[in-house]
Structure 1
Amino acid sequence: MVLRYYIPLLTPGFRPQLLSPSTMSKADIMTAEKTSQETQLEERQTDSPAFNAEVDALRLPLRGRKLTAAIAFVTGTGFTLFGYDQGVMSSLLTAKQFEKTFPEVVVSPAHRNHATLQSLLVAIYELGCLAGALSNLWVGDKLGRRRTIALGGIIMIAGAILQAASFSYAQMLVARVITGFGNGLNTSTVPSYHAECSPAAQRGRLIMIEGGLITFGIMISYWIDFALFWASDSSAQWRVPVALQIIFALIMVIAIGFLPESPRWLLKAGRPAEAMAVISALEDKPPSDEKIKQTYEAIREAVLLEELGPTSGSRHPDKTQSKDVPLRELFTGGRGQNFRRVSLGVVIQCFQQITGINIITYYATLLFERLHISDTNSRIIAACNATEYFMASWIAVFFIESIGRRKLMFFGAAGQSASMVLLAVLGSLDHSAARVISAVLLFVFNSFFAVGWLGMTWLYVAR
């Protein structure tokens, strides 16, 4: 049953449809349409003097491009933090002081089981991310986008402090789980917040830039690790890079307090005047402007459609607090195609990770050392790889609107596949030229991923 949703994607000329033939009865459709019409005719607050007066009283000081830039800065900081936290462990795993503090990560012929302990220290962070992202199903709509992001940032600060103050392997494990939990909250909220607060015409590029900032964080972490590589007589060699992520988290937590909430969430929470004020500020136009009214009504109608269904008890999302939708609704078909949407989102995000990109991100230095490159040169090449990775991410920013999402994803997947096939072949050859080409192919793999799959999965799923 699941395959029938994906086989058409490989068909030339296929164009995804947002809506499928409805499985709702005619009576349900007529009821929904009648409710929608009644809502528009009876409750069009945009024409109400009292409603407009309330909106005027909520006028935001930051407006237009300045507000859009501020939102982009804060969400970008969140993803820079995500990238930094991913990359910072790469060079630390083989740092002298890190190995001294955590001998469990030192892999040697006498301690082969330490390879498992080293891998666990890296991977445990992802388990925390998974738990944080899943918890957003229950806390995200209750807290709102801003408070969820702030909560995620605070948890990451606590986790970073515990990591930097660690003196045992067990403490570091727990600290990385905590940090990952906060990151999971952020990465499952920031794209939605940014998409809901961005002008439609700029949404694609802004979210692609946001994805590119993940690589910016990775690049920074690699170069900081390399700079402190020479402080081999002090634990600052690894404690400082780990602690520096606190700066990004603090900026995000403080700055998000000065930004407005998502208009979509405000409508779901029964705060229509605030939603209208935010839309007006984002477009830098008065609430009486017809475009602002249309945008407001479009979002309001979308929220209304979410409320329609067998479990819905409200037809007026701006009058009541939004209710919890049972998880089983995610597995239903019909007009909303919930199961297909969820399946596409989950599969795309999963396969982004299954491409193996994090093997390079987390173990870049070790991978280059396995190619018989010296310790110092491995760190330099890893940092250069991250820099090139960041530069390649900008290609998608400039072509996302002209080429489109699916074509870039196919392009990236094809390039990554070819790179991995060549790496597998060259890995079996014991020759210096093969090792050099293998190192180059790691750069190539990252480049194709940056173009087709880095920010694209956040954008496609949010849309």
Structure 2
Amino acid sequence: MPRFYGLRGLKLNIAIAIVAGTDFALFGYDQGVMGGLLTLGSFLKYFPQIDTVNPPAGSSPSHAATIQAITVGAYTLGCFFGAVATIWLGNMLGRKKTIFYGSCIMIIGATLQTSSFGLPQLIVGRWITGFGNGMNTSTVPTWQSETSKPHRRGQMVMIEGSLIVFGVMLSYWLDLGFSFLEPSSIAWRFPIGFQIVLAIFILIAIPGLPESPRWLVLKGRNDEALEVLAALSDLPPQDKKIQQEFQEVKDVVFEMSRGGFRECFKLNRNRNFHRTALAYVNQMFQQISGINLVTYYAATIFENSIGLSPFLSRLLSACNGTEYWMASWIAIFTIEKFGRRALMIFGAAGMSISMAILAGATSNIGNKSLGLLATVFLFVFNSFFAVGWLGMTWLYPAEITPLSIRAPANAISTTANWAFNFMVVMVTPPAFANIGFRTYIIFAVINAAMVPSVYFFFPETAGRSLEEMDEIFHKTTNPFNCVKIANELPHRYGKKGELLVEYGDTEEAREAERRRSSVTGAEIRQPTGGVLNGEAEKDVREHHEHGSKSNGY
């Protein structure tokens, strides 16, 4: 088989985006598929413990709501532990192997769920599926960002975000379509089992695609890294642009060769802790916005909070997912034009207003006018989220963190996504059972607080290479001047990827040269703490000795 399936340049970038996007579609599908089943008769026949409308004898609606939350939340809890495992596995296995093994684990979990005849098996299956997905969602954004060009990186990851919603939409429509097979258990077994198809596609496609060139350099496999960089740009390895990109990556690897999990919390020149905290909070904000209140429980909200029929509730959920997916395409065409900060602020402000209106509209169940208003603003909320926050938290953390801690830092930030996802999923059923419409007020306040937080603390990453972000943080002295420095530092690349500033002419390159010349003979170690051996050590020492005498190699 030809190297990288014979693909180069844009075609290779698209192939990577398709596989990465399929993984995110699988992620979205898993999030949405359970929502349409929670009120399905054939599903509740096997799992009556989660029926909040007609709980089994001896159980209260509040208790059933808690069991339902545990069942749904088992998936997100598994995702959390999968993300935690990736903190240690990510740099050891590499990006591709981590995704491959994560997909295998998801298939095992999905098989257990599909064949469930009791609640314990379903919960265990959901936890295992989540574990695999946690590994994937911690790794795919890093793999995608490290194989993308600065002017295309945001657009590529936003396409992945759109595919998350495509997966949600697909799960809603399959739930609706197969609900007509009631009372057969196929009505819920097939929708749950369909995720296996997506996971198998990933297993088949990913082995032939390129590994992250930055991870390859980190492991001393420089010839492979240069080959990947050349293939991604469809240029020969000797091309000046490829040599410069390779030089930038090697300079960063040389400086950060001792990075690891503990480095995420260091208050050093690279401001590792500052950058890890920004990545963590970015992921946390996405979840505490309340999006999974809608994603996991849309059909339940339509039926129990607004008072619609079961069929109409599932139909509106499917339509909601479809509109959600359509709105997600707005970010694909605006992410590079308006930047990350503008979209995050716009999304948070719109979500806050939507939640406030939902609180008022659901305060009187049975009122048709208010019910219609609530239905509309469930759609509106999803639209604001799709534009501002859907793909953002899979893009921004990977852009903001330095190479040496990129894998562990993104895994740490992804634990925030799943920890707060789990919190929202667990809290939502009891919250609706106890405080009703006031649940929306809590999320309205949270979203409002996100607006100034983004404005004052989150620097713009649009159009920046991953190495440029290092330079921004090298100049940062406290969390309050980071945004100002990012706004003032000249860009190295133009909006179409053209070179604007030679790397050799930057202060960062001159500083890298000074550091190389000051540590002659120092022992070079891998991030794991082991000494580099063989060709890797020789290459790094040569890099140390010769440095940036020219822009090429």
TM range (shorter): 0.7 to 0.9
Query: How far apart, in 1, do the equivalents of 2:4 and 2:331 lie?
Result: 36
Q: Could you say if the C-alpha distance between residues 150 and 346 of structure 1 is closer, same or farther in structure 2, counting changes exceeding 3 Å?
A: same
AA in 2 matched with 1:65 = L
Match of 1:66 among 11, 20, 31: 11
1:9 aligned partner: none
Query: How far apart, in 2, do the equivalents of 1:60 and 1:245 lie?
Result: 25
2:542 aligned partner: none
1:415 aligned partner: 350
AA in 1 matched with 2:341 = R
- Work out whether 1:93 is the aligned partner of 2:38: yes
**What secondary structure sits across from 1:335 in the alignment?**
coil
- Work out whether 1:120 is the aligned partner of 2:78: no
- 1:160–1:243 contact (8 Å) kept in structure 2: yes
1:26 aligned partner: none
1:120 is displaced (CA, Å) by 0.6
Query: How far apart, in 1, do the equivalents of 2:377 and 2:180 lie?
Result: 28
Could you report, residue by residue, the CA deviation over 1:252-294 in whole angstroms, capped at 9, with x for unpaired residues? 1110011011101111111000000111110111111111101
- Work out whether 1:446 is the aligned partner of 2:396: no
- 1:60–1:277 contact (8 Å) kept in structure 2: no
- Work out whether 1:366 is the aligned partner of 2:311: no
1:125 is displaced (CA, Å) by 0.7
In the TM superposition, what are the counterparts of 1:251-400 in structure 2 within 5 Å?
A: 251-307=201-257, 312=258, 325-370=259-304, 371-400=306-335
Query: How far apart, in 1, do the equivalents of 2:360 and 2:193 lie?
Result: 40
Query: How far apart, in 2, do the equivalents of 1:125 and 1:59 lie?
Result: 34
1:129 aligned partner: 79
Gaps of 5+ in 1: 1-56, 313-324
In the TM superposition, what are the counterparts of 1:148-167 in structure 2 within 5 Å?
A: 148-167=98-117
Query: How far apart, in 1, do the equivalents of 2:251 and 2:164 lie?
Result: 34
In the TM superposition, what are the counterparts of 1:69-88 in structure 2 within 5 Å?
A: 69-88=14-33
- 2:4–2:210 contact (8 Å) kept in structure 1: no
Could you report, residue by residue, the CA deviation over 1:22-64 in whole angstroms, capped at 9, with x for unpaired residues? xxxxxxxxxxxxxxxxxxxxxxxxxxxxxxxxxxx98973211
Could you report, residue by residue, the CA deviation over 1:73-129 in whole angstroms, capped at 9, with x for unpaired residues? 100000000000000001111111111111111122653221111111001111100
Query: How far apart, in 1, do the equivalents of 2:3 and 2:294 lie?
Result: 48
Query: How far apart, in 2, do the equivalents of 1:461 and 1:377 lie?
Result: 39
Query: How far apart, in 2, do the equivalents of 1:62 and 1:405 lie?
Result: 30
- Work out whether 1:169 is the aligned partner of 2:119: yes
Query: How far apart, in 1, do the equivalents of 2:116 and 2:285 lie?
Result: 33
- 1:99–1:106 contact (8 Å) kept in structure 2: yes
Match of 2:137 among 176, 184, 187: 187
In the TM superposition, what are the counterparts of 1:46-57 in structure 2 within 5 Å?
A: none
Query: How far apart, in 2, do the equivalents of 1:91 and 1:435 lie?
Result: 20
Could you report, residue by residue, the CA deviation over 1:148-178 in whole angstroms, capped at 9, with x for unpaired residues? 0000000000000010011110001110000
1:326 is displaced (CA, Å) by 4.8
Query: How far apart, in 1, do the equivalents of 2:229 and 2:184 lie?
Result: 52
AA in 2 matched with 1:90 = G
- Work out whether 1:456 is the aligned partner of 2:406: no
Could you report, residue by residue, the CA deviation over 1:373-413 in whole angstroms, capped at 9, with x for unpaired residues? 11111111000000000000011111111111101100000
Query: How far apart, in 2, do the equivalents of 1:326 and 1:459 lie?
Result: 21
Query: How far apart, in 2, do the equivalents of 1:257 and 1:88 lie?
Result: 28
**What secondary structure sits across from 2:283 in the alignment?**
helix
1:15 aligned partner: none
1:135 is displaced (CA, Å) by 0.7
2:198 aligned partner: 248
Query: How far apart, in 2, do the equivalents of 1:177 and 1:388 lie?
Result: 29
Query: How far apart, in 2, do the equivalents of 1:427 and 1:59 lie?
Result: 53
Query: How far apart, in 2, do the equivalents of 1:441 and 1:305 lie?
Result: 50
Gaps of 5+ in 2: 400-553
AA in 1 matched with 2:340 = R
- 2:4–2:12 contact (8 Å) kept in structure 1: no
1:134 is displaced (CA, Å) by 1.0
1:7 aligned partner: none
- 1:125–1:176 contact (8 Å) kept in structure 2: yes
Query: How far apart, in 2, do the equivalents of 1:448 and 1:302 lie?
Result: 37
TM-score where L is the length of structure 2: 0.69
Aligned residues: 391
- 1:60–1:278 contact (8 Å) kept in structure 2: no
Could you report, residue by residue, the CA deviation over 1:288-324 in whole angstroms, capped at 9, with x for unpaired residues? 11111011111111212212xxxx4xxxxxxxxxxxx
1:213 is displaced (CA, Å) by 0.5
- Work out whether 1:232 is the aligned partner of 2:166: no
Query: How far apart, in 2, do the equivalents of 1:406 and 1:102 lie?
Result: 44
Query: How far apart, in 2, do the equivalents of 1:334 and 1:257 lie?
Result: 37
1:233 is displaced (CA, Å) by 2.4
TM-score where L is the length of structure 1: 0.83
Q: Could you say if the C-alpha distance between residues 446 and 286 of structure 1 is closer, same or farther in structure 2, counting changes exceeding 3 Å?
A: same
Match of 1:138 among 63, 73, 88: 88
Q: Could you say if the C-alpha distance between residues 282 and 360 of structure 1 is closer, same or farther in structure 2, counting changes exceeding 3 Å?
A: same
